């Protein structure tokens, strides 16, 4: 992972996405800054996953475009690793953890190629980084939810990307996996990586992330957590669902912002 | 005792005998079908295989009418076109017609098959093809339709056709292994990695269509559907490894061909029907006695959990 040319990892311009004529994302304009850990938060159906999928070219865009390091998205996607939601695949598929991780290398394979020894080495190293090497030969159906999530992260690591897009990596994982993921995210950021993470737990946003995107169909606010993660913006994003918010508001007031890096 | 002994005298698998050729054709059909059937099953598209095997009928009849012969190449092209049309229409109805996937498959293939039935009955004088043959196949006659080259008898034509198709499917499977696997397991990741997911989907559908049309002539629609799906599902119950699933599916298919021939001779009934029946029985055996997914092993496992709840219920 070489930071090489600094630039704008992901630029989203005028983006609108609609399912069956109903817009799920409306006129999104964003520039994700390099080397930051960025949370995407918003209520259910706010378009968080859709935004990630739109950047990856997995849903048709009604309008707008995406640029990756200044290039059209189709050309730039090789430098982006995508971690889909864990529930998006069939974990009864007959394969083992190492094999799933190896799939991250398929973008590097020639048309009819098979993974080489080097690809397998990279896959093993990635499994080690998420503390899953001892489970390399375990059938994926026999892994716990947290372990499955770690396998997905290891798979993204094998892509040796500069940008990571993760859809709810913390959903339904145990506490030790959550700590392991946070450590991994911070390591990747230290190495110059840019990480965009769909996140559902508002309380941990100030603790884990540098920037936050508050999303509900449109961009409600985007910027450093210290500036935009305010009770007022949360109120705008989540509307009437106040119950969730009071506790977060309480925490925000008690957070010592000076300790955090920008 | 005597009756059985007599029957086994009649049933011979020595090379060159009718029994040998019939079982060989059945086994080749099984292999060809398993090579594409496993990924159909894993992608939860079992019914699409069923649909394609029926929907190719109008394609076959039209190919007959245009080429005026039973040559395999025009038939494969006609069936291939209809097979892809089925996959495409199903996709279209699901995406834009707001139909659930199973409903759009049902609508598509019954419609196309019905057109095929009309075509067969209308042009039955012009084409050497009847509905019974399409539905049930004539594997019994396979040994009599032989391929001759410079006067030398090379054995049944259907053995050569199915052998070629099985090899083509195996080559497709081996060359496309990585791509097929990632498309089946996680198509979103595959697309994100730059794999042409749509292309691989239709490639698989094209090979399924080709296999179906090559096999239907000898074994009929019913056995093609059975061989595409049933051995693959049997293998799915028996292993958690992808390559082993393919190998076991071929094995289950070959055993079905062999057992089906024996059963048919014993009962003096339809060979294709008996082969499909045996493959169903093998599935039943796997479902009951399978090592991990079988009904019995699950029962035993649950009983163990009940007696020692603390030890097993903690997961990593």
Instruction: Print the SS3 string covering chain B.
Output: CHHHHHHHHHCCCCCCCHHHHHHHHHHHHHHHHHHHHHHHHHCCCHHHHHHHHHHHHHHHHHHHHHHCCCCHHHHHHHHHHHHHHHHHHHHHHHHHCCCCHHHHHHHHHHHHHHHHHHHHHHCCCCCCCCHHHHHHCCHHHHHHCEEEECCEEEEEHHHHHHHHHHHHHHHHHHHHHHHHHHHHHCHHHHHHCCCCHHHHHHHHHHHHHHHHHHHHHHHHHHHHHHHHHHHHHHHHHHCCCHHHHHHHHHHHHHHHHHHHHHHHHHHCCCHHHHHHHHHHHHHHHHHHHCCCCCHHHHHHHHHHHHHCHHHHHCCC
Contact state of A106 with B242 under an 8 Å Cβ cutoff? no
Question: Band of the pLDDT at B103, cuts 50, 70, 90?
Answer: confident
Measure A191 CA to nearest chain B CA, in Å. 22
Of the pLDDT bands very low, low, confident and very high (cuts 50, 70, 90), residue A246 is: low
- Binned at pLDDT 50, 70 and 90, residue B298 comes out as confident
CB contact under 8 A, A113 and B178: yes
User: Looking at the partner chain, which of B175, B178, B242 has a beta carbon nearest the beta carbon of A106?
Assistant: B178
Average pLDDT, stretch B217-229? 79
Binary contact (B176, A112; C-beta < 8 A):
yes
Closest CA to A95 of B182, B163, B71, B147: B182
For B142-149, what is the mean pLDDT? 72
Give how far Cα B18 sits from Cα of B13, B32, B274, Å.
8, 21, 17
- As a whole number, mean pLDDT of residues B152-162 equals 81
Lowest mean pLDDT among A114-128, B123-137, B161-175, B213-227: B123-137
Contact check, Cβ <8 Å, B188/A112: no
Residue A262's pLDDT is 40
**Is A171 strand, coil or helix?**
coil
- CB contacts, 8 Å: B195 with chain A: 106-107
Confidence of residue B130 (pLDDT cuts 50, 70, 90): low
Cα Rg for chain B, rounded, in angstroms? 21
Query: Is ipTM strictly over 0.85?
Result: no
The pLDDT tens digits for A159-199 are 989 999 999 999 888 888 899 999 999 999 999 999 999 99
Domain spans, chain B: 2-315
Q: What are the distances in angstroms from CA A210 to CA A153, A203, A230, B152?
A: 20, 14, 14, 79
Residue B149 has pLDDT above 80, yes or no: no
pLDDT tens sequence across B188-197: 889 888 888 9
**CA distance to partner chain A, nearest, from residue B113 (Å):** 31
CA-to-CA separations, B316 to A116, B257, B302, in angstroms, rounded = 31, 44, 19
Q: In this model, does residue A84 exceed pLDDT 70?
A: yes
Looking at CA atoms only, how far is residue B111 from chain A in angstroms? 27
Residues from chain B that touch A94, judged by Cβ atoms under 8 A, are: 42, 236, 239-242, 244-245
SS3 A259: helix
| Alpha-carbon gap, residue A34 to A69, rounded angstroms | 10
**Which residue in B39, B99, B181, B192 has the most chain A C-beta atoms within 10 A of its own C-beta, making it the best mutation to test that interface?**
B192
- CB nearest to B178's CB, from A88, A109, A139: A109
Which residues does chain B have within 8 Å of residue A90's beta carbon, measured at their own beta carbons? 42, 44, 185
Q: Which of A137-146, B163-172, B208-217, B279-288 has the lowest mean pLDDT?
A: B208-217
What lies within 8 Å, CB to CB, of B266 at 6+ separation is: B7
What is the interface size between A and B, counted as CB pairs within 8 Å? 78
Q: Is A213 helix (H, G, I), strand (E, B) or coil?
A: strand
Per-residue pLDDT band for A258 (boundaries 50, 70, 90) equals: low
Count how many residues are written for chain A: 262
Nearest-angstrom CA–CA distance, B45 and B29: 19
Between chains, do B189 and A144 touch, taking CB under 8 Å as contact?
no
Read off the tokens for B44: 């939860």
Q: A4 or B227: whose pLDDT is higher?
A: B227
Four-point Cα dihedral A225, A228, A234, A237, nearest 10 = -110
Q: How far is B41 from chain A (nearest CA, A)?
A: 10
Q: Where are the domains of chain A?
A: 10-259
Asked whether the predicted pLDDT for residue B308 surpasses 70, the reply is: no
| Matching CATH number, A10-259, of 3.40.50.300, 3.55.50.30, 3.20.20.70, 1.10.150.530 | 3.40.50.300
> How confident is the model at residue B181, as a pLDDT?
93
Q: Take residue A239 and report the two structure tokens written for it.
A: 């509307």
Please tell me the distance from the alpha carbon of residue A234 to that of residue A232, in angstroms, as a whole number.
5
Residue B273 has what pLDDT? 85
Mean pLDDT of B233-247: 93
* Chain A CB within 8 Å of residue B190 CB: yes
Domain B2-315 of CATH type 3.40.120.10 = no
Least confident residue range of A237-246, B98-107, B224-233, B295-304: A237-246
* Lowest pLDDT segment from B30-34, B43-47, B213-217, B261-265: B213-217
Q: Range with the lowest mean pLDDT among A71-80, A240-249, B178-187, B222-231?
A: A240-249
Q: Is the pLDDT of residue B314 over 80?
A: no
């Amino acid at each position: 992972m070489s930071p090489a040319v600094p630039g704008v990892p992901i630029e989203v311009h005028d983006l609108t996405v609609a399912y069956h004529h109903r817009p799920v994302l409306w006129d999104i304009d964003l520039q994700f800054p390099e080397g930051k850990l960025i949370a995407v938060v918003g209520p259910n159906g706010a378009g968080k996953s859709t935004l990630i999928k739109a950047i990856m070219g997995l849903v048709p865009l009604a309008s707008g475009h995406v640029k990756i390091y200044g290039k059209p998205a189709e050309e730039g996607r090789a430098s982006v690793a995508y971690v889909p939601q864990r529930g998006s695949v069939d974990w009864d598929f007959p394969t083992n953890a190492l094999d799933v991780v190896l799939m991250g290398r398929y973008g590097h394979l020639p048309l009819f190629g098979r993974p080489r020894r080097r690809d397998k080495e990279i896959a093993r190293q990635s499994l080690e980084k998420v503390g899953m090497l001892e489970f390399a030969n375990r059938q994926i159906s026999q892994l716990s939810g947290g372990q499955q999530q770690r396998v997905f992260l290891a798979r993204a690591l094998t892509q040796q990307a500069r940008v990571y897009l993760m859809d709810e990596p913390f959903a339904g994982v145990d506490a030790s996996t959550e700590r392991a993921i946070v450590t991994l995210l911070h390591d990747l950021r230290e190495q110059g990586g840019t990480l965009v993470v769909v996140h559902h737990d508002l309380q941990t946003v100030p603790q884990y992330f540098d920037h936050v995107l508050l999303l509900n169909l449109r961009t409600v606010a985007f910027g450093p957590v210290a500036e935009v993660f305010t009770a007022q913006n949360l109120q705008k994003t989540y509307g009437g669902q106040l119950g969730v918010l009071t506790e977060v508001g309480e925490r925000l007031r008690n957070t010592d912002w000076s300790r955090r890096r920008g | 005792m005597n009756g059985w002994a007599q029957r086994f005298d009649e049933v011979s698998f020595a090379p060159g005998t009718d029994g040998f050729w019939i079982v060989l054709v059945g086994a080749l059909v099984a292999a060809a079908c398993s090579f594409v059937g496993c990924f159909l099953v894993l992608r939860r598209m079992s019914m699409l295989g069923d649909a394609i095997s029926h929907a190719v009928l109008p394609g076959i009849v039209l190919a007959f009418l245009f080429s005026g012969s039973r040559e395999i190449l025009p038939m494969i092209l006609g069936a291939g076109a209809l097979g892809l049309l089925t996959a495409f229409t199903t996709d279209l109805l699901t995406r834009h017609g707001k139909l659930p996937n199973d409903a759009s498959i049902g609508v598509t293939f019954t419609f196309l098959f019905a057109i095929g039935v009309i075509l067969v009955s209308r042009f039955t004088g012009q084409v050497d093809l009847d509905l019974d043959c399409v539905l049930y196949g004539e594997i019994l006659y396979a040994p009599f339709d032989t391929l001759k080259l410079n006067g030398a008898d090379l054995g049944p034509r259907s053995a050569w056709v199915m052998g070629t198709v099985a090899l083509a499917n195996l080559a497709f499977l081996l060359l496309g292994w990585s791509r097929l696997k990632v498309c089946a397991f996680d198509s979103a990741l595959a697309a994100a990695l730059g794999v042409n997911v749509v292309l691989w989907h239709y490639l698989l559908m094209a090979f399924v269509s080709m296999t179906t049309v090559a096999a239907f002539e000898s074994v009929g629609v019913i056995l093609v559907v059975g061989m595409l799906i049933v051995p693959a599902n049997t293998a799915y119950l028996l292993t958690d490894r992808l390559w082993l699933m393919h190998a076991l599916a071929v094995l289950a298919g070959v055993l079905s061909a062999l057992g089906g021939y024996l059963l048919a001779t014993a009962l003096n009934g339809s060979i294709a029907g008996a082969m499909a029946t045996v493959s169903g029985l093998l599935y039943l055996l796997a479902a009951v006695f399978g090592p991990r997914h079988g009904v019995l092993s699950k029962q035993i496992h649950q009983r163990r959990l009940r007696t020692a709840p603390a030890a097993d219920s903690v997961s990593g």
